[in-house]
Amino acid sequence: MNYPAVSNESERWSVEQVAALFEQPFNDLLYRAQSVHRRHFDPNAVQISTLLSIKTGGCPENCGYCSQSAHHSTGVAREALMSRERVLQAASKAQQAGATRFCMGAAWRGPNSKELADVVELVKGVRELGMETCVTLGMLRPGQAEQLKEAGLDYYNHNLDTAPDFYGSIVTTHGYQDRLDTLQRVRKAGIKVCCGGIIGMGENRLQRAALIAELAALDPPPESVPVNMLVPIAGTPLADVERLDPLEFVRTIAVARIALPTSVVRLSAGRATMPEPVQALCFLAGANSIFYGDRLLTTGNPSTDSDRALFERLGLHPTEPHTEPDRAAR
């Protein structure tokens, strides 16, 4: 089989090479993605995370997909930071349901000193439960990532969202380089990176390829790569964007797996409206992480019961906490 792509998984992928993967026949693409997946992961293991919005609404950024932006009329109320007691109760419940990682999201442009200090205490509390921790707090200033690292934070989520040349169509209150700067601060502090994007915002296939090439070019690549299907929300600029073909989304998962062979690829937002056969194809294409629980930040998610039933039908099982692929394995 003749693949128009890099011959060594450690080599950098160009946009053109990633785009060529998208053009492969569907069966060939999934075969290659599953082959890459099996070289680095248990093919039937799925990492389970739970996501909680610890501070909802009122974000000053104007991201066109976001229900929490103060620029959009979506009916999402501005709320204060959730109390430590409520957050730890939610984390404990998620752990009992089978989640191994607890992710906390706050609708900020970036935290101030007081806000960061409060989040530090939340990270410590969740760590004491024995769970991995992840936060998404917006852009970080110098020195803030180090404070999170000292608290024991495992992952920081900061998505690139889309291709550089499409980014300005989605948000104008900050630039692509701002995102990269925060990721660099997170890496320098020694925190693992969770970074992916949103598919179906009106971008074309070449722009989807460019996003994956950008992710693969991060040095090192993100340990965790969430791939989100846009959830159109009334009141946002992207509410009426044409829905993406589900098989194109599966292709995107497969291409991400091939270009990011040692990253955990998370099947993220959009699963609530995704038929189970499409989800099954995504797992076949190399997705090996999900968000568990009936709600993400402000949008719906499949119930834990339905996920358990799907896992049983597919023969999938949760990964153990604190397990990672061998990045040196090629």
Q: Which residue numbers are catalytic?
A: 59, 63, 66, 103, 134, 194, 266
All residues at 6 or more sequence positions from 227 whose CB lies less than 8 Å from its CB, including other chains: 196, 197, 199, 249, 252, 253, 256, 265, 266, 267, 268, 287
Q: How far apart are CA 210 and CA 284, in angstroms?
A: 23
- How many other CB atoms sit within 10 Å of the CB of residue 290? 27
Residue that has been written with the tokens 């693969």 in this structure? 216
Strands, E, within the chain: which ranges?
Answer: 45-55, 101-106, 132-136, 155-157, 192-194, 197-199, 224-229, 264-267, 289-291, 317-318
Indicate the SS3 state at residue 266.
strand
Residue type, 157: N
Could you identify the residue written with the tokens 């990011």?
260
Q: Which of 190, 111, 182 is nearest to 151 (CA)?
A: 190
Q: How many angstroms separate the first and last alpha carbons of the chain?
A: 20
Which is nearest to 211 in space by CA: 158, 164, 261, 268?
A: 164
